[in-house]
Structure 1
């Protein structure tokens, strides 16, 4: 089984730090980063922020450790870390994800 994990970061520097950390720990095979505009509830009011969205491809058995590692280095009090199962995909790509997260 495989997962896509979505993580938001306040800026590109933080996003790269998080991406490099999970890659070096072999908790991810690949991390994409894209700028996003976010709106969300925080402490009773609607906030707006420009953020960087990390799209992390990993093995499902690595998700809990990935969450722990991200929480340890992330500057947000409550970082967005959402894991979604990958129902299907290109078999060779998924094999590569498996190899890279279990090397």
Structure 2
């Protein structure tokens, strides 16, 4: 994962898991560790290339909202607890949002809440 989030203060870190139970548990751990202010968990259908073939699977996506400076910690936290050999980890910069929501996100991930 790169440390460059385009100068954004906030990012969404995305990963997936094979079951809803695993996804919700991981999301709760990340939020409980105060590495993300919130997480959204929802089912997705994935089509991907793996081990020489196209595969399809139902997965559970987790979108973790956090400060850009915590992205590396989120990556390490998720990787240490994930069952996938190569878990999806994408960091997308947040280029705008509601001021109140972004203030809340900042407070919930800075130990000031």
- Scaled by the length of structure 1, the TM-score of the pair is 0.97
Match runs of 1:14-93 below 5 Å: 14-93=22-101
How far apart in 2 are the matches of 1:31 and 1:94? 14
Task: Note if 1:97 corresponds to 2:105.
Answer: yes
* Contiguous gaps of at least 5 residues in structure 2: 1-8
Cα drift, residue 6 of structure 1:
1.1
1:25 and 1:101 mapped to 2: Cα distance?
9
Structure 1: 5+ residue stretches without partners: none
User: Which structure's residues are more often helix, by fraction?
Assistant: 1
Aligned length: 103
- Alignment RMSD (CA, Å): 0.6
